Structure 1
């Protein structure tokens, strides 16, 4: 082998890129049929976006002339026809987005807070508190305060429209106190019954006359006094002329003050009116006597006697 020409199998002929040069092409270099002339290499050169895994290869879009915008294969925001996600390949494992621990999105079944349930619970608690306060204000506290103070500040209907029990019992007791007609009295000293002057309230219109002389007396035995105390004895009388008076004796004891029988209303003669004297009675039976004693002016006609409570005691 000489240095002039070593034949076609020179080292430069082994250059796998010899086909790229003019002298290599002149010497008959050819592009490699494999992958860049390396043993067992594979030529896998293809356009970007041309390969689709597990599917047939899509035809390469024609290249637009220089200066022109190639035609778009899809609209913005939509997946390209030349691309497929790995999870879409046959046999590929499905992928899914796993929620973060402790978060359930919009009140789902995860571990996060259920805002809808919390809101309903809060509303129920507030409603229960409001109902409890309303019940306490309407019923419970008002009655307790009234009991603590001893009485309600607002009178009830029964208090304002009906008489109290004590008032009713007092009126009943007053109504039950004795009253005497002329026919139930003992007349002495010239006193006698008559009925000529009209207006007497005793039974039959009978009254007492002849009381205008010294020693005349009228005695009434009073029964049914329930308790000892001070009472009033009312005497119904009429004056034929001037004012009159008489001595009051209770249970044998004469009063120092006479019963005053004046014409208080300036009435005509023999018009009936009423006067009273204060007396002390014991429980049970008492005797009340009205008499014309020395120093008395006794020209009067006498009608009913009545015992009542003393309003001044």
Structure 2
């Protein structure tokens, strides 16, 4: 049907703005006057507020004047006798809203979402446990890796700085030279002896008479494959009193003396228990080098010398 022929039967067929369009004007649509719609014979379904009813209206119900709110009947959650939802009237739109089922709480509402809270708490605990596990695995890895641990410094050394670890190529080189008292070239007033026990040199022989200025022992080192820094070790014996000497490498005196302290606190006068080791860094050239231990002015040289050797 068209609004111009038979008229609109329901509000859904009416167009309040039909007079604005060409097809509406062709069908005789006029601007609304008196509350009607834009097409001719349109339905005027305007009702005064409070005239719709929900179910049966009680006998004592009163219709409030226009613009005033009618007195509520019934208690909480009870239908209002003066109000009827559009969907309850003939031709009204169906409603899709459904009453919420099952809820906790004294007023029919839903209670707190305890299931969601429980799931969230479990997720937090799981994340903490995973983090602790990862940290423990990382700690075990560091513990098992010897490269991450600091090495211990030598207890009897002149230089407290740690020496670099040799590479695989250096470890495969021929063993570095080593000598003892009988292979050293002795200076004036210096001799060898073997009456004090504890010497590690061949036959228990050690250098004695090194306790005066001008005393020297010289070691000619052959077979240095590569120039660079080496560590010179010296085994010495003292009578419980600190001593020192001057190192001369390839004719050049070292600025720092060779330290021969009484490490460990050996009793004074006990030569037999006074055997100790010390070391100092030296710079050597490729091939042959000379290393001299000398008692110069300012040195305290009351010591016996047993062995000398090199390390990278």
TM-score tier, shorter chain, comes to 0.3 to 0.5
TM-score normalised by length of structure 2: 0.44
Structure of higher CA gyration radius: 1
TM-score normalised by length of structure 1: 0.44
Q: Comparing both structures, which one devotes a greater share of its residues to helix? A: 1
